[in-house]
A and B are shown apart, each in its own frame.
Chain A
Amino acid sequence: QSVLTQPPSASGTPGQRVTISCSGSSSNIGRNYVCWYQQFPGTAPKLLIYGNNQRPSGVPDRFSGSKSGTSASLAISGLRSEDEAVYYCAPWDDSLNGSVFGGGTKLTVL
């Protein structure tokens, strides 16, 4: 069981804006930067957001991240069918001395 809490599923229709939450604690989200990863079935995860709200080159600006206190969020605007994937939050955790992962949220585009 993860030290981070994400909703197991989320959904939206094309063009909509969807938000995925990630709840942690003072030892992880509260004190450290958060990354988000996108994973398609059968493939390795891909870094989507780093430093709470920064996008690596090549990631569309439809994806945005935010953090407040011990919670973080990933927002996807202008939802597209190709966004259907599993999304993981991943902050560093001081007590574990490692980068931990949320349980993952499966996004379905209806």
Chain B
Amino acid sequence: QVQLVQSGAEVKKPGASVKVSCKASGYTFSYYDIYWVRQATGQGLEWMGWVNPKSGNTVSAQKFQGRVTLTKNTSINTAYMELGSLRSEDTAVYFCARRNNLYYYGLDVWGQGTTVIVSS
């Protein structure tokens, strides 16, 4: 079945970087953009950016520009989100999602989420 499976939870110190993976299966990986969204505990959803798996083109939310790197490896159907210069406010659950043009760019398949804790 169509699914996105993310890497496991991470605990990082302030100033470090974290890299979250998102492995796609059940569909042609290059056909759909991968979106990244995060959610701090008890807070709403916040978009971070997206990557086109075919071209590698990326767009990042202004808030994260310079700190976030979105990449992909089409040979293993996996997208990555790396966030650097971590601070405590980056503690959140990070989701990847598939953006489906047939659904007017709705995010129709989501990963299970990856918890990232930033603590000294």
Contact = CB atoms under 8 A, between A and B. Distances in A.
A104 B40 CA distance: 13
Interface string A19-48: 000000000000001010101000011110
A68 to B, nearest CB: 17
Interface stretch (B24-32, B42-50, B74-82, B84-92): B42-50
Contact of A101 (B46, B104, B105): B46
Contacts, number: 70
Chain A interface category by residue count: 20 to 34
8 contacts: A33-B104, A35-B106, A37-B107, A45-B45, A47-B106, A51-B103, A90-B107, A99-B47
Interface of A: 2, 33, 35, 37, 39, 44-47, 50-51, 54, 56, 86, 88, 90, 92, 96-104
